[in-house]
Structure 1
């Protein structure tokens, strides 16, 4: 697939010069900082030196005082408390965090994860009924609930109080809960708005600990779980999230909780050098697989485990579910590709909507992501579940998927999500009408350039600038993620040094140099088609990120090539 190379506008030259002088660093590094809102020495120190003191006072969050007081009352009165969370990574890490912390202070507690297939996302009537039937009078809901106005009203009629801990955008009306913790509330002045659901849970236990004289180290025991939620829920890695991710990643690599250590081991890795990216691709899918294929409670059981033998058994079972998930994922992806490739009308559309009543609901989100990568257009994968048609949607850069679904809402039973990912439910008889409507909306609103995948390039770089100090400082920009992505550079007129070769069936391994520079090792994933053109003496441009390659305890700088372009 051809991709657009989009070079970021130059940063303010005066600011770049000033920052370079103050920090004694390369102007390219200063421009990266300015683009991240870092304009002076103090800002750079805050950015490069995350500190636990940078975590905000949890009581700045609207309703935090009310939430803590209600928990204190419940504990003092011996009430039964139910910790309730969604079945994805963010929800299960949030439940594990809050349940583990409070169960060390108080024993009259349980946790509850809704069944993906029987109850669906968020707070369910079945979950509330379970609480009523089993004598729970307080539910702490994590990573869900901000739009569950009717469900909270129902719980109130049963004498069940709710504390909502959510990070999604509220609707026009807030639920009538005892406390609604969500920095995205219009009336919440909390300084940082992009916490994950587990992040909100972390702030709740931080507030309770602070008010009740519990040492902060007891809260930090769960910072590895907060890091996993931040990584896998694709929230911004800026501000407070950057602090949580920084220290959480340190804990993952040095002293992870038993469950996280087990997940790393069953993935074939050892703690020590894991990055945010590896957390996303190794730990996240295994936690998710529990709820996609079986029951997300297994993931919580693993994450709260204290016994290594029990954790190992649970981890192996979850790893097996992940292998099963991969099988469903690949089979359904192949079937979906066949549907698209055999239909000339569908190939020519600006959206993709595919439906098969027999597809496994637990993996259609992954399949939607794969189809979006291949065809690069707004994509929805539909299957049948409990008499309805359920769908998972993914978008492309710059296109607001949620707004497009709003234009189709009369054909939907319900939908929810955000700009780039969403879930939806409809009646089977509305599928064809929905396909047509969604295509109409996308065709009328998407820009031509949004249908071409883009590589965002941060700056031009000469290979000679990649020296040890530059690389050492660049590494301090990590942890990387949304709003702080690993920088991508462009270098022009580079040459192959020696021979380029194929690794696997589609990847290129080579070394490149510019005139007068040393050669740098490169890996170019899925660029095998360029191999015949990569001859000594033939100039070309590359865009790439810079990383450290570790192989059998040997470390060297490697360019991870995102794009290759030859002179026309």
Structure 2
């Protein structure tokens, strides 16, 4: 029990905090701290009309090939951006009359277009006269030279940094090629491919410009997947992609009153009008608004199937509980559901043909005769195979999560002499980048995860650290880095080189000035004042130090804040979501474990979840705000025993039975004890 003096101290602290609480609108506080004004937003939206280098040359090469009936073969990378670029290039060229083929990529071996890959392409498609590379190729002179030796021309449509002195392709469309002055270099491979197709349509078949614009959904997916800064053309494209995904969502059967009366597993009355996914195959992709538009017009079958693939994929995600409503189709869906799902294929060493089968089955059948050879007999068989491929992508992603979790545990248990900058892991190469991302989130410093045997792996760094530039400036032939500035592959030839780069990074980080305390403040810090009376002396002192901005507002104000922020979206790289925090006392909150099946509405009537299925926590503060903390049940006890915590949240809204309520997803949580602990969601 606290002494009278301690109680007096707590009261003084509470009064101090309460007097400092602002009466300003939450959005105004965020806008002031982020420096948002009309000029800032206008600059964020501004984009260039300047043409990419060699764009005219690429269009001429394509026109010569298309008008002459020659075969154009697409070679693309295997990550989400590469898959998106390959699909849109194949479908777009088909729509504009090209005789086009596509090679399903493989993640084994070098990412560059090698001479062997050119030979493979020619073996699959012997009449090829023009190669177009997507999201790859800028540093592939060996493959380009091989293509030239065999009488083929090459268009490189890439966005990666040029390392070779001269790229010897016939056209090099790349904002980051040597000598380029393109004003928006931070665009992805699928965006570059979209520029090429759009320019061709404008020049040679303007009546197809609208159809090519529909394919911008893949450009937006690629831009977000490759973590391009959300400004200029990328911002516009991502916004358009989300809109097209909404149009691609098929009609889902709804529960009716009759379902409450059925003898077997009747639904509850509140479920009337909700999606009925008991028979997933009842969801018809052709009922989407997008497909109604496409099917009502004259299009090439390969173009139509690429867009139908979006509706097929969404129908399977609805069936699997990954998409619960149209409101789920946002930037978070692209970044945390769609992209990891496609990238999981290589991480779990599955078949890349699955990714392409969903969208371009004809290309898969031509490129991979060994893939599902018995399913191409009838349209019904192909449709079923596409659903199976989509389900496989979902399953691969769940496997990827399990592999990553186990790999993180093994990494932490192993000796790590170079942590926090470099970590050793025995995980598969495709998982190392995920481990680096997780560790970067925890440490906030440049992070490399490599195999102890090959000393090769992946790096992820904060926005303030350029790994490619840093390695280049070290000028050490034993070190290598290739990819993007903050997400790249890295390697060293020996442990001395490892020690040197770790020492150099440590020296650089230590040389940075201490951050201004004002820079560490949240953009908005809210306090659940309903629990202030229960503070102890230590928690009260902590609260004074935290300097919350406002009391936790009422639900309508939080809904208004979430809606205002939504109108400013999309948020992401270069324009992050505001740092919003909520401080509260867990002892005055309700902390309820959630099971995955319970959350998804998959539990049968009268049954209880398996204890192992409880993975999430739902926290309802004394004020009534619901906080959802995914995959956090391991922290249940520590949370309930804490006296004061601060959660960093993503604020959104949730609609239930016509009522719109604020909803907060916890991204990280700090337990304020004598020794603070930070737990990332």
| Range into which the TM-score falls when normalised by the shorter chain | 0.7 to 0.9
TM-score by length of 2: 0.66
Residues 551 and 288 of structure 1, relative CA distance in 2, 3 Å threshold: farther
Find 1:329's aligned residue among 382, 397, 404.
404
Residues 354 and 168 of structure 1, relative CA distance in 2, 3 Å threshold: same
Cα displacement string for residues 363-382 of structure 1 (whole angstroms, at most 9, x for unaligned residues): 22223323444555443333
Residues 420 and 277 of structure 1, relative CA distance in 2, 3 Å threshold: same
CA drift of 1:32 comes to 6.5
CA drift of 1:476 comes to 0.4
Greater alpha carbon shift after TM alignment, 285-294 vs 89-98: 285-294
Residues 553 and 26 of structure 1, relative CA distance in 2, 3 Å threshold: closer
- SS of 1:364's partner is helix
Partner of 1:165: 157
Task: Give me the whole-angstrom Cα distance separating, in 1, the residues matched to 2:660 and 2:55.
Answer: 47
TM-score by length of 1: 0.78
Structure 2 unaligned regions, length at least 5: 1-23, 250-306, 363-381, 526-548, 594-613, 675-681
CA drift of 1:362 comes to 2.6
- SS of 2:568's partner is coil
Find 1:353's aligned residue among 423, 435, 458.
423
Task: Give me the whole-angstrom Cα distance separating, in 2, the residues matched to 1:391 and 1:219.
Answer: 37
Find 1:251's aligned residue among 244, 255, 266.
244
Task: Give me the whole-angstrom Cα distance separating, in 2, the residues matched to 1:446 and 1:495.
Answer: 35
Task: Give me the whole-angstrom Cα distance separating, in 2, the residues matched to 1:378 and 1:101.
Answer: 39
**Quick check: 1:74–1:81 contact (8 Å CA) kept in 2?**
yes
Find 1:365's aligned residue among 405, 427, 433.
433
Task: Give me the whole-angstrom Cα distance separating, in 1, the residues matched to 2:671 and 2:401.
Answer: 34
CA drift of 1:100 comes to 0.7
Partner of 1:511: 621
**Quick check: 1:226–1:244 contact (8 Å CA) kept in 2?**
yes
**Quick check: 1:227–1:245 contact (8 Å CA) kept in 2?**
yes
Q: How many residues align?
A: 511
Partner of 1:297: 353
Find 2:119's aligned residue among 129, 147, 155.
129
CA drift of 1:491 comes to 6.3
Residues 371 and 496 of structure 1, relative CA distance in 2, 3 Å threshold: closer
Partner of 1:314: 389
Partner of 2:326: 272
Partner of 2:38: 39
Find 1:438's aligned residue among 501, 504, 526.
501
Partner of 1:223: 216
Task: Give me the whole-angstrom Cα distance separating, in 1, the residues matched to 2:466 and 2:185.
Answer: 20
CA drift of 1:77 comes to 1.9
**Quick check: 2:30–2:524 contact (8 Å CA) kept in 1?**
no
Residues 83 and 29 of structure 1, relative CA distance in 2, 3 Å threshold: same
Cα displacement string for residues 18-59 of structure 1 (whole angstroms, at most 9, x for unaligned residues): xx9xxx996336437744xx534xx75797xx8xxx8754x6
CA drift of 1:209 comes to 1.2
Task: Give me the whole-angstrom Cα distance separating, in 1, the residues matched to 2:95 and 2:228.
Answer: 29
1:499 lines up with 2:566 in the alignment: no
Find 1:411's aligned residue among 478, 483, 494.
478
CA drift of 1:204 comes to 1.3
- SS of 1:303's partner is coil
Task: Give me the whole-angstrom Cα distance separating, in 2, the residues matched to 1:419 and 1:193.
Answer: 12
Cα displacement string for residues 481-512 of structure 1 (whole angstroms, at most 9, x for unaligned residues): 111211123567x6679533153577460225
Structure 1 unaligned regions, length at least 5: 1-19, 514-518
**Quick check: 2:407–2:425 contact (8 Å CA) kept in 1?**
no
Task: Give me the whole-angstrom Cα distance separating, in 2, the residues matched to 1:394 and 1:456.
Answer: 24
The RMSD of aligned alpha carbons is 3.6
Residues 348 and 505 of structure 1, relative CA distance in 2, 3 Å threshold: farther
Residues 512 and 486 of structure 1, relative CA distance in 2, 3 Å threshold: farther
CA drift of 1:206 comes to 1.1
CA drift of 1:167 comes to 1.6
Partner of 1:193: 185
CA drift of 1:564 comes to 4.5
Partner of 1:17: none
Cα displacement string for residues 303-350 of structure 1 (whole angstroms, at most 9, x for unaligned residues): 2359643321221233343344344333333322221xxx3xx36744
Residues 272 and 29 of structure 1, relative CA distance in 2, 3 Å threshold: same
CA drift of 1:66 comes to 0.9
Residues 70 and 505 of structure 1, relative CA distance in 2, 3 Å threshold: closer
- SS of 2:357's partner is helix
Matches within 5 A, 1:18-29: 27-28=28-29
- SS of 2:423's partner is strand
- SS of 1:123's partner is coil
Task: Give me the whole-angstrom Cα distance separating, in 1, the residues matched to 2:586 and 2:411.
Answer: 39
Q: Which has the larger radius of gyration?
A: 2
Residues 376 and 132 of structure 1, relative CA distance in 2, 3 Å threshold: same
- SS of 2:129's partner is strand
Residues 87 and 283 of structure 1, relative CA distance in 2, 3 Å threshold: same
**Quick check: 2:81–2:226 contact (8 Å CA) kept in 1?**
yes
**Quick check: 1:377–1:396 contact (8 Å CA) kept in 2?**
yes
Task: Give me the whole-angstrom Cα distance separating, in 2, the residues matched to 1:283 and 1:73.
Answer: 36
Partner of 2:467: 401
- SS of 1:457's partner is coil
Partner of 2:640: 531
Cα displacement string for residues 144-171 of structure 1 (whole angstroms, at most 9, x for unaligned residues): 1223344434433333221111122233
Partner of 1:175: 167
Matches within 5 A, 1:2-13: none
Greater alpha carbon shift after TM alignment, 97-106 vs 303-312: 303-312
Task: Give me the whole-angstrom Cα distance separating, in 1, the residues matched to 2:650 and 2:514.
Answer: 24
1:281 lines up with 2:348 in the alignment: no
CA drift of 1:276 comes to 1.2
Task: Give me the whole-angstrom Cα distance separating, in 2, the residues matched to 1:204 and 1:169.
Answer: 19
Task: Give me the whole-angstrom Cα distance separating, in 2, the residues matched to 1:116 and 1:68.
Answer: 29
Task: Give me the whole-angstrom Cα distance separating, in 2, the residues matched to 1:124 and 1:67.
Answer: 21
Residues 90 and 473 of structure 1, relative CA distance in 2, 3 Å threshold: same
Residues 389 and 490 of structure 1, relative CA distance in 2, 3 Å threshold: closer
Cα displacement string for residues 524-555 of structure 1 (whole angstroms, at most 9, x for unaligned residues): 56575343234xxx7x7665442213457653
Greater alpha carbon shift after TM alignment, 324-333 vs 558-567: 558-567
